[in-house]
Amino acid sequence: MTLSIWLSLLMICMLGAMSPGPSLAVVAKHSLAGGRLHGIVTSWAHAFGVGVYAFLTLLGLAVVLKQSPTLFQIITYSGAAYLAYLGINALRSKGGVAAKLAAGEPASMAAAARDGLMISMLNPKLALFFLALFSQFVAVGSGISERAIIVATPLLVDGLWYTLIALVLSRPAVLETLKTRAQLIDRLSGVVLIMLALRVVWQG
């Protein structure tokens, strides 16, 4: 793999990670409710899910999903259901930012890791990303080292980007400002997640 090809892959992965969506909402929720470490755990669990998608693409995920619309629909609607579940919880303030900040009881590390992993594994946008863009690099990487780079690049880019988000949101000054608006954040994040779920169903 040449440097120019890798830089193209890096740029695509950076654009994919930085695009706002449900992943950002989940990392923000755990960073605000549990603090820096919870946000970082969520970030790298999410990145692990991204790495799994990258690895599966190397094994022929693109071909499988293109030839099996039913499988793709299952992934799509499972992702929509999980987004709706997170949105409803936020609206009801059960397990959301406002409830956890008020009670002083952040979610466990296991819950933070679970949400990070699930929101990536059940995100149809991520599947489309690898189908439309990432899969074109698979043919370039024929050796083991090149394939390892293809998998590691999106995993590390995603983990580092959301770690940065977690560090920014867990700064005392930022956190104190957001605490005063925790209830509003819950409501807005709930609405956004439900709207994302509806959009997934509509476009599916």
Residue 65 pLDDT > 90, yes or no? no
Q: pTM for this one?
A: 0.69
In terms of residue numbers, what domain contains 195?
3-14+21-203
Judged against a pLDDT cut of 90, whether residue 173 lies above it is answered with no
Cα(59)–Cα(13) distance, rounded to whole angstroms? Answer: 19
Between 197 and 27, the more confident residue is 27
Q: Based on the structure, what is the number of domains in the chain?
A: 1
Q: For residues 21 and 196, is the Cβ–Cβ distance under 8 A?
A: yes
Which pLDDT score, from 0 to 100, does residue 191 have? 83
Give mean pLDDT, residues 41-70: 80
Mean pLDDT (the chain, rounded): 77
Tell me: pLDDT of 135 over 90: no
Q: Is 35 exposed, middle or buried (0-12, 13-18, 19+ CB in 10 A)?
A: middle
Give the percent of the chain with pLDDT over 70.
73
Mean pLDDT of 50-64: 75
Closest CA to 54 of 113, 122, 114, 126: 126
Q: Please give the pLDDT value at position 78.
A: 77
Predicted pLDDT at 95 = 44
Given this model, what pLDDT does residue 101 score? 52
